[in-house]
Amino acid sequence: MKSLIQQAFDPEDFRREGHKLVDLLASYLENCRQKAPMPVLPPSDPDAMAAFWQNDLENRDFELQSFYSTLISQSNHIHHPRYMGHQVVPPAPLSALTELLEALLNNGMAIYEMGPAATAIERVVLQWLAKHIGMPQSADGVLTSGGSAGNLTALLAARQAMCGHNIWEEGNQHHAPLAIMVSDEAHYSVARAARIMGWGEQGVVKVPVNDRMQLDASRLEDTLADARARGLHVIALVGNACSTSTGSYDPLNEMADFAHKNNLWFHVDGAHGGAAALTQKYNHLTQGIEKADSVVIDFHKMMLAPALTTAVLFKNGAHSYETFAQKAAYLLASGTQKPWFDSAGRTLECTKKMLGVKVYAMIKLYGDQLFSDYVEAAYDLGQEFYHLLNQQTDFEPALKPDGNIVCFRFNPKGFTGDVSILNAQIRKKLLLDARFYVVQTQIQGQAYLRVTLMNPFTEMADLNDLLLLIRELGNGIIETVNT
């Protein structure tokens, strides 16, 4: 009789169950592609869900494929064309298969000998991306676990390079408080990074936005002067490519020039929209990104990879070696210049997943065109949806979208109630209906519905059906209130 250890590592069990799982997932993908009726986000109560799985754990009866099927049925169906919620891409199946390979090999990448092939592949992928966004040959960087970690890594490098002393080794000195300038629409991870670095609320200097929710470049001079007058030492300027709430791109070219003129580090948070630089049709949105001192781009947003895979690129590749300059002699080679192939000295992680392998596989099999085709199709759909909204008398878009994030609300003529409350109630009913998954956002204090069109198989017919459903739900709410 096999021991439990032998069972857990049995190759034949793995082969048999793996084939079944791939068949199950392939059927799931087919159902999603064919838009089979299913709750895109199955309605559930958090406590009830936890109780379900607690009971399941205590039940000794277990069938592996049944477990997989239950997990699929209870999950958010990212691959369904009527998923239009958060900025989560439906991963290309190849990238999921490659991640299975990564998981089984389990080569941690703290030092080269822990992941030789994966380390070299990461470097190749980063050089490929840097070239495609227009960075010089001197660019270098790392892959890390998500945009929040990426923004923190980049801003730690900015602090080390711009504060005037070796802050990593020597700590905070008695000088003016450090700060960064950001759009009022910057992602919360940027402000969180400043707080992690100990700068507090005053360390985040917000620049007002214009009516398109882009950083207002005409306010940069006054904002910097005011910050300096308050005794702050502003070291960096952060641009959005694009913002999370509305998908608006900041004027990166103007911001880059302003940063250079005022000796500021220029960082671009391109977690969602930096990939537009790879397209011919939409690369104008990222003009100026090549001038940035650091850039963050998520492969798991607009580049078809599973979460989490984030590139942190530095125009001057040497900065990536200075961010975490502490000594760890048992891991890293001695000397001030660390080798490129030992990544633990350049990332938040010590042990790190083989993050670049899935991206490399997609580049190798499908070529660069896969990514540009995907981004262009998603952004085109955002523009078409905006035009559809403009043709309706009872819907209003918040603004013309730059890409695939579209904010809008139901506001029928003659309605005298609170439009924000109405749309918040519509969103709750959409969750219960579950045929679509959309989210809600706040723009200048008003509630809007928000779609992020990430699925390459979402069509205008789906978006038209969404508007019909919202109209039906909204009018039902109004009738109930009036009666």
Residuewise pLDDT in 10s, the chain (483 residues): 789 999 999 999 999 999 999 999 999 999 999 999 999 999 999 999 999 999 999 998 899 999 999 999 999 999 999 999 999 999 999 999 999 999 999 998 888 899 999 999 999 999 999 999 999 999 999 999 999 999 999 999 999 889 877 777 777 776 789 999 999 999 999 999 999 999 999 999 999 999 999 999 999 999 999 999 999 999 999 999 999 999 999 999 999 999 999 999 999 999 999 999 999 999 999 999 999 999 999 999 999 999 999 999 999 998 988 777 654 444 445 445 567 887 777 888 888 899 999 999 999 999 999 999 999 999 999 999 999 999 999 999 999 999 999 999 999 999 999 999 999 999 999 999 999 999 999 999 999 999 999 999 999 999 999 999 999 999 999 988 777
Instruction: Find tokens 């990879």 and name the residue.
Output: 305
What is the SS3 assignment for 65-119? HHHHHHHHHHCCCCCCCCECCCCCCCCCHHHHHHHHHHHHHCCCCCCHHHCHHHH
**107-367 — its CATH code?**
3.40.640.10
pLDDT at 330: 43
The crossing angle, in degrees rounded to 10, of helices 64-74 and 11-33 is 30
Q: How many CB atoms within 10 Å of residue 200?
A: 11
Half-sphere exposure of 275 (CA within 13 A, CB side): 30
Per-domain residue ranges for the chain? 11-41+76-90+371-483, 107-367
pLDDT at 332: 47
Which two tokens mark 385?
Answer: 């949806």
Cα 253 from Cα 238, distance rounded (Å): 12
Candidates 308, 311, 232; CA nearest to 269 is 311
Over the Cα atoms of the chain, what is R_g?
24
pLDDT at 336: 52
CATH 3.90.1150.170 fits 11-41+76-90+371-483, yes or no: yes
pLDDT at 321: 84
